[in-house]
Structure 1
Amino acid sequence: MYTRILGFAAVAACLAMPVSAAVALGDAAGSYSISPASSSIRFSIGKVGGGGLNGTFARFKGSIRIDNSDVGRSAVNFTIFPESVGTGQGRIDAFLRSDAVFDAANSPEIQFRSTSVTRTSDTTALVSGRLTARGKTFPEKFTAELGGLKAGMIKFHVTGKVLRSRYGMDVGTPIYSNIVDFDMTLTGKRG
């Protein structure tokens, strides 16, 4: 469940990064589709006494639109498919997909839709938006850092923290943290 929320947050943050100055905004302006083959969504949840849970999402899609004249009008839309969660442990993956966490059978998508993009430096932006998981929607924020623009491809590093309890995924607390840390690398193709 953390993974779902963090995945959307991470995507939103990555989409906000196109406002960075490392690449001229005029050069980065345009619409991009996230390329899952060259992107990754990772998450982690801490545990009392150390350890915790680390995982990824294998299936996701998204788009980024960078507005040349007003970065604040840029947009990020992202969808994560929670049935694709992977931790390397089949039993845990099945539990995460179950109705105790993601409820992937009844809630097959986690969605993030940006509401604003605020430039915070030459290469970073804060992406704010609405994250929907398990039928619950809350505002979330992600930090996006522009990693480069080359041959019609743009790259972002997106990070954020999401409280899983807001989305009805608080099983295991307080032994497992309520905070899900997202760390995403998103590559978008112009077009």
Structure 2
Amino acid sequence: MSVRMLALLAALSLPVSTASADVSLGDAAGRYSIGTGGSSIRFSIAKLGGGGLSGAFGRFSGTIRIDGADVGRSSVEITIFPDSVGTGQGRIDAFLRSDAVFDSANAPQIVFRSTSVKRTGDTTAVIAGRLTARGKSSPEVFTARLDSLKRGTVAFHVTGKVLRSRYGMDVGTPIYSNVVDFDMTLIGRRG
């Protein structure tokens, strides 16, 4: 294989951000509504010995407000409807909706409200806030990266780790990890 072909394959395998080098969080100033169109909230929980559980929430909404003068005064609020959880396995979905985990009949929403936003780069920030689930609230931290800004739409990639035990959802530990890994794509539309 030629050196040129190896270089091309190496370049194609590198992660590429879709945010332009000329775009920053300050350029995205405004209020955005988050919906399920193009957005996703995915999660995974590791299992002792390998495997684990992964899924997504089908219904959620929220707002992102970016302060162009001071990104630190920005805010985020996300509401997840746990009855929309999906793993591709009906029996597991029913168990997750039950009072053993989400108790979606009595606790129909999971809400995250930011308390601070700290800029860590031109297109990145750390978002701290309070997550409330099953009537319990706890501080949580997520990292966010602005992936694109175009025609009144922003796209963020957001990741974080949440301890299930803080919310009374630690059934199955230690076989299933207490840590839930979140991987989200949040598309916001101005307005």
Determine which structure has the larger helix proportion and give its number. Answer: 1
Q: CA deviation at 1:51?
A: 0.3
CA distance in 1, matches of 2:121, 2:160: 17
1:180 matched to 2:185? The reply is: no
Match of 1:84 in 2: 84
CA contact (8 A) 2:148 2:155 kept: yes
Output the CA distance in 1 between the equivalents of 2:81 and 2:24. 33
Distance 1:25 1:178, change over 3 A: closer
TM-score (norm 1): 0.88
Aligned match of 2:72: 72
Paired position in structure 1 for 2:55:
55
* Partner deviation per Cα, 1:32-53 (whole Å, 9 max, x = no partner): 0013111001000000010000
What displacement does 1:24 show? 4.0
SS at match of 1:50: coil
What are the equivalent positions in structure 2 for 1:1-191 lying under 5 Å apart?
22-191=22-191
Return the TM-score normalized by structure 2: 0.88
TM-align CA RMSD: 1.3
- Counterpart of 1:140, as a letter, is E
Q: Evaluate the alpha carbon distance shift between residue 27 and residue 173 of structure 1 in structure 2; reply closer, same or farther with a 3 A threshold.
A: same
**Which consecutive residues of structure 1, in runs of 5 or more, have no partner in the other structure?**
1-19
1:68: Cα distance to partner?
Answer: 1.1
Paired amino acid for 1:100: A
- Higher deviation after alignment, 125-134 or 32-41: 32-41
Maintained 8 Å contact 1:35/1:61: yes
Partner Cα separation in structure 1 for residue 22 and residue 146 of structure 2: 8
Distance of 2:175 and 2:68 partners within structure 1: 46
Aligned residues with identical type, % of pairs: 76
Figure out how many residues of one structure are paired with residues of the other and give that number.
172
In structure 2, what residue type is equivalent to 1:84?
S
**Which residue number corresponds to residue 17 of structure 2?**
none
**Residues 84 and 165 (structure 1 numbering): CA distance in 2 closer, same or farther, change over 3 Å?**
same
Asked if the contact 1:148/1:155 (under 8 Å) is kept, the reply is: yes
| 1:13-48 superposed Cα distances (whole Å, 9 cap, x missing partner) | xxxxxxx97524453100000131110010000000
Distance 1:95 1:25, change over 3 A: closer
The 3-state SS of whatever aligns with 2:37 is: helix
Amino acid at match of 1:126: V
Letter in 1 for 2:135: G
Residue type of the alignment partner of 1:182: F
C-alpha contact 2:24 2:122 (8 A) present in aligned 1:
no
